[in-house]
Structure formats: C-alpha cells, structure tokens
Amino acid sequence: MQMWEQQCGMPLPRPVCLEGDVGQPGLGLSSSDRAWVAANCTSMLHSAASLTFHADGSGEPYNTNVIGTKNVLDLCADLDVGNMHYVSTAYVCGLREERVMEEDLDFGQRFRNDYEMTKLEAEKLVRSAGFLKQLTVYRPAVIAGDSCTGYTNTYHGLYMYLKLMSVLVWNTEPGPDGVRHTPVQLEMTGDEPRNIIPVDWVSAVMCHLLGTPEAHGNTFHLAPEIPLTPRQIIEAGYVYFNSRGVEFVGPTPSSTPISEMDEDARQNMGMYREYEGSDPEFDLTNLQKHAPHLPCPVIDDAMLHRFWKYGEDDRWGKRRPKRLDPYRSIEEHCADLVVKSQSKLDPKALKVNFRVLGPGGGDWHLHIQSGRLTRFERGLSSESDASLQIDSKVFWQLTSEHKDFSVDSASESLDAPSDCRVRTLTELCSALFGVSVRHEQIVSTPTHGSGSVDFQTQADKA
C-alpha cells in the first residue's frame, strides 16, 4: 500500500485483512475471523490461483486451483455467503480453435498444460455449488503490465519474452551503422493473434462489474477486441533497440539454429512454446453490454516500449524495493484504550465509524460511553451516529500533542449531524486522544454546508 501511496501522492484506506490459507479447510481462519465474515460479508471474490503450468511434485497447481476453490466454497456454504465472484481464465477453452462463447465451458477439449485443466475443474466446481444465490465469472486472457506506466509485479507471460529480447539484444554490439543485428528464426508466421490485456484495464473493468448489480450472474471474457501479434512485438523492438534480423519462418519443424543468439532464444522460449499457436477469438457480448465505456486499450509500440522501460529499470524484478516508512499499529493502540469493565453496552452509546488513512490505518467501528472507548471492532457499520476519517500522521500527532492539541484537525475530519456534533467531538477527543474539550463558543457557519459548525475551543489533558 505504501508503494501505491508514493505513486499517488496521498494516503489510502486499508482494507480489513484476515490471514488464512486456501489450502486449509475453512481457509484456516480463526473462530473470531469466521464470526467477522459471517457478520459482515455477503459476497466472495475468489481470485487466488497457482500459475504453475505443469505438476511439479508439490501438488500444484491442483492443490490451490481445485482443493483451494473447494475450501472457499465450503466456507461460503458454512457462513451463508451466497454471492460468488469467481476469477477463472479465458484458457479453460484449452486448445479449441473456434470462437469461444461466454457460456461455453466443457466441450471435452484438450489442454496445453495442468494449469488450464485445473482451472476448468475449479470453474465446474463453482458452477455446481447449489447453495450459491448468484455466480459471476470473470475469464481474463493473458495479463500484462500497466498500460500507462509499464508497472508489473510478475515477469511471466509477455514480460518473459520482453526480458529475453532485452537481454539478448543489448548484449549484441551494434554494427558500423549503429544497428544491432539479431539473427533469430521464429517458427510462426508473425501474424498469430495474441490475447494480451493490460492489468489496469482488468482492474477497472472488474471493479465496474463488481459495482454494477445488473451485471452480476453473467460470465465475462476479459480479452482485447484487437489482439497483439508477434510481428508487432518484434517491430516495436526494432525501434526500441535499433535492431534488425528476426525472421518468421512459419510453423516448420525445428531446424539447426542459425546463430548463437538463435540457440539462446530457442532454449529460453520453451516454457511458452505450447502457446505459440494461434489464440482463439473470445466472445465479448456480455462485456460490451455491461462495460461499453471501458474498451481494452490497444497495445501499440509506445505501450510495449513502456513495458520494456519498466522491466529494465526494475532489473526484471531484481531491483531493491524502496524503503517503507516504519509505522505503529493504530489497531493495537486503540485496543489498549478499550475499557474492559463494562458489563453491557448502553443503547445510548455513541457509535462512530472510524477510518484512518495511511500506514498503520484501517477501518473500525467504535462504541463510546461517557468519553470512554467500550468497543473497537474491525470494519465499518451501517448503524453509526457519525464518522471520522483521518490521516494516520494526524492521528499520532493528536494522540501525542496534548499541550497543543488541535481540535480543528479533529473537527474537520468529523461527519456528524449538527444536533449531536458537539457531543460527538467531545466524546471522541476524550476516548481516542485523552483530552477534554471545553466549548467556549460554537458558531454556525452556513458556508460550510448545512448543519456544520465551527469550534472555538480549549483542550485540556484528560
């Protein structure tokens, strides 16, 4: 999260995180975490998967893709989570060559590898789960980096080819004309379509569909309208590296390598050789119906150059990450403030949704009685009297600076009805920051919006 905050230049909210393992029954969740899920969740987005292509003796990809999906379904059934958003893959189609429709699944097709086969088995499990009230399936094609920045956190798929080209070409001395000669033969025509999609588009489309109830219950192929071709990749590389020399020889049987570079290329491309045939065309009817305003960006030379630039700057995943700022846990701090002697909750207790942005932050629901914190729960509630959103840096400043306590900082972050705003601010300052607030003057300020007030106050250490 701190990495994204550095890029965005602003603090971001933290989700509620529960630690578990899809390989364990019940996902290995504690009893308190299960109770939280039961009380707060009505939908499950399941995207955990192993990208291992071939069984390697560790049990993958079967354990994660099939057993893991079964464990997720069992948990949902136990806790009455009836809405499932399942991330499959477009390649459950296997080696089919005809146009693949969104409602298609098992046609007895053959597969390139165990990954595709286990994802088909997992999708069949999800579709056969009779307890589900609604199922939405997302089938992405091959996911590449961010279309605008080139960012990626994995160097599989397209990036494996880009890395190979970068390493081989940059290690080739340019000729007298400044051009690097790259004698490589590729056993393809160069015009085979490649269904590759930028990760930021996948994120935007899925977020839109998740937030669009009328889209739920469908299957969506997340694939490009205009596929990429190997020829486009090679020609973009010619421009990026100032190189020439790749020859498309068609799907002919393997011949003797024509150069040392050609031999190196063949050895390193073996992992994805089974994908060098043509991709099928994926039907996009549901996607175009429910997300027509989000067309897939066309991967052009400029975008490919961004992918190369990011990969090279990142040393293809070996760059040391930026140092993260140390932070204190606001959850642990507030948990220590809870008054444990309260035998039962006062129905008149103040209920506040509390969101802290930035490192150490999160979402919580507070109960406050007589200026004391009596309950502190993860997540936000629909039954609250007020809400407070604050930056974690401001939180710690308010916590430690009693002498120069800024009530304005707390007041500006508070959203509460005008008739209880004074009480809310007073009790929050006491419960969270250990100060008592004496209101010397309260002045209504219509320009700040209906029901808002300005406080001229003095804060004393509680």
Helix (H/G/I), strand (E/B), else coil: 456: strand
Tokens of 32: 């308190």
Residue 154 resides in a domain = no
Q: Which residues contact 302 (CB under 8 A, 6 or more apart)?
A: none
What mean pLDDT comes out for the span 43-59?
A: 94
What mean pLDDT comes out for the span 284-300?
A: 98
pLDDT above 80 (res 230): yes
Across 249-258, 339-348, 356-365, 389-398, the highest mean pLDDT is recorded for 356-365
Q: For residues 151 and 212, is the Cβ–Cβ distance under 8 A?
A: no
**What CATH number is given to the structural domain containing 347?**
3.30.1050
Query: How many folded domains does the chain comprise?
Result: 1
Q: For residues 442 and 425, is the Cβ–Cβ distance under 8 A?
A: no
Residue 168 resides in a domain = no
Q: What is the Cα–Cα distance from 96 to 154, expressed in whole angstroms?
A: 27
What mean pLDDT comes out for the span 344-361?
A: 88
Helix (H/G/I), strand (E/B), else coil: 142: strand
Angle at alpha carbon of residue 106, lines to 103 and 108, rounded to 5°: 145
DSSP state of 428: H
- pLDDT, position 458: 40
- pLDDT, position 446: 36
CA distances from 104 to 130, 237, 459 (A): 19, 37, 66
pLDDT tens string 174-201: 999 999 999 999 999 999 999 999 999 9
pLDDT above 60 (res 33): yes
- pLDDT, position 84: 98
pLDDT above 50 (res 295): yes
Comparing C-alpha atoms, which of 452, 432, 419, 274 is closest to residue 354?
432
Residue 215 resides in a domain = no
Q: For residues 457 and 439, is the Cβ–Cβ distance under 8 A?
A: yes
Residue 451 resides in a domain = yes
- Long-range own/partner contacts, residues 319-322 (CB < 8 A, 24 or more apart): 321/3, 322/3, 322/6
Split at pLDDT 50, 70, 90, the class of 443 is very low
Residue 371 resides in a domain = yes
- pLDDT, position 404: 60
pLDDT above 50 (res 35): yes
How far from the centroid of its chain's Cα atoms is residue 293's Cα? 21
Domain range for 435 is: 330-461
Residue 377 resides in a domain = yes
Comparing C-alpha atoms, which of 59, 68, 119 is closest to residue 89?
119
CA distances from 242 to 169, 172, 182 (A): 9, 11, 10
What mean pLDDT comes out for the span 303-330?
A: 92
Residue 378 resides in a domain = yes
pLDDT tens string 384-441: 999 999 999 989 988 886 556 667 777 888 999 988 888 898 899 899 988 876 654 3
DSSP labels, 124-137 = HHHHT-TT-SEEEE
Residue 444 resides in a domain = yes
- pLDDT, position 305: 98
